[in-house]
Amino acid sequence: SLLLPPHTPRPAMVISIACIGAGYVGGPTCAVIALKGGENVRVTVVDVNEARIAAWNSDNLPIYEPGLEEIVKQCRGKNLFFSTDVAQAIKDSELIFVSVNTPTKTYGMGKGSAADVKYIESCARSIAEHAQSPKVVIEKSTVPARTAETLDRILRCNSRAGIEFEILSNPEFLAEGTAIADLLNPDRVLIGGPQTASGQVAVEKLASVYRHWVPTERIITTNTWSSELSKLAANAFLAQRVSSINAMSAICEATGADVTEVARAIGKDSRLGAKFLQAGVGFGGSCFQKDILNLCYLADSLNLPEVANYWRQVIILNDYQERRFSQRIIRCLFNTVSGKRIGVLGFAFKKNTGDTRESPSIYVCNYLLEEGAFLNIYDPKVSEMQIREDLKAAAAETSQRPADNVDKLVQVHSNAYDALRNVHAVVVLTEWDEFKELDFQRIYDTMLKPAYIFDGRILLDHKKLRAIGFDVEVIGKTVK
């Protein structure tokens, strides 16, 4: 063989990576891998949804995350590709991320709590059908504990003779709105794999991808089951903190305490820290509720009902917070919102994302619609189509004519001032920074009186609003 000249670096092997699923996890994760891996990686993100892939290949990406667009434009067509050809991506890759949706089941056994892993199984069968060489298959989706075992069995029962698979767990710990920052500077990267020689080789291959930018001491390796359960546990603990401070907010409102002061006081305790102590109308997003329900189902299936009931209470409290805030709006507006127009600021479940999955805004808006309110809604990143789809889906569970109600009672606006003109009340449901910069004197002048503001995110300057003339109602405190 031809020897390299002395002191010439040996060229690195290019690792071919596929990701099945071009959603909120797969897209950003692979974009950062491509950015940091450079010429050492070739990353292909595939999805059967042609419209989604077309969007990834356009100037209008299908999801919004600060910093994502710049990375995609820098890498796309060089070492980052988006395609609908799932079969070819499987054939060409060494590492395959499985990053498909695992929603809570809405049917059959485990309805309302178990994760629906049908898309995971579908991916496994596709990989088995098209793989022509050994593969490392990596769970990136949030999955029930021991899903790797299911993947392994499906792959081994359906693959060609002589083709070996290693199954790893590599859960994501991203917060929407800061996903790119989380990926570029992660607290930890968790890789779980079989405690076998071949399993550890697979773990090392995946770890080598992350080492392009993540310090080795932040790459944690465990067995597969610990990795899978750690993801559920992390989200359960975070959601628990949110429900805990929201429980305190109810006590604060009843006693005259200020939940922000309470949060600041307990957050100074080094054993607790200040993160996830921001009271609000409730938590949302694709993970918290789904993962806690999954954890409850797991505990029930292991005959641990006390454990399941403990974690279920976190969701019960979150539902209570959403309901309590909605009822407060109605109570303050003289016990009826029927025929009244209410301006809603924010529909995404948090700022800096267009994601509305499990958003508290859906629940609050649906509650007000059921009471006969007219809603003017503005969110800077959520489309009118998405807002209407979410509200119709929510209304379908409680109303006989959901489509009629939503189309008749809801208007979606492209700016805040139009949304808040001639309304009885303003309701803040997402903590977008731009809402703090609004000219509230201008808004007050166009509203019906008494003019109410309900701040569900403790976002605004309440003293200034009171000085203008607003009646101000805030989560977790009384404004006088």
- Residue 223 phi/psi, 5-degree rounding, is -75, 165
Q: CB–CB of 55/61 below 8 Å? A: yes
User: Strand 425-428 relative to strand 410-412: parallel, antiparallel, unpaired?
Assistant: unpaired
Nearest to 376 by CA among 435, 418, 404: 418
Q: Which amino acid is residue 357, in one-letter code?
A: R
Q: CA gyration radius for the chain?
A: 25
Region of 188 on the Ramachandran plot (φ > 0 left; ψ -120 to 50 alpha; else beta): beta
Catalytic residue, chosen from 19, 30, 252, 287, is 287
Distance CA 210, CA 173 (A): 14
Report helix, strand or coil for 126: helix
How many residues are listed for the chain in this entry?
Answer: 480
Nearest to 297 by CA among 183, 270, 305: 305
Q: Which amino acid is residue 37, in one-letter code?
A: G
Token pair of 354, please? 């267009």
Distance CA 272, CA 278 (A): 13
Residue 187 Cα distances to 217, 229, 274, angstroms: 10, 18, 17
Is-catalytic flag, 123?
no
Distance CA 155, CA 164 (A): 9
Q: Which residues contact 4 (CB under 8 A, 6 or more apart)?
A: 10
Q: CB–CB of 37/207 below 8 Å? A: no
CA angle 183, 184, 185 (to 5 degrees): 95
Distance CA 190, CA 170 (A): 6
- Residue 144 phi/psi, 5-degree rounding, is -65, 155
Q: Which amino acid is residue 480, in one-letter code?
A: K
CA angle 329, 321, 318 (to 5 degrees): 150
Distance CA 448, CA 474 (A): 20
Interhelix angle 384-395/402-409, nearest 10 degrees: 140
Distance CA 347, CA 431 (A): 10
Which residues are designated catalytic? 287
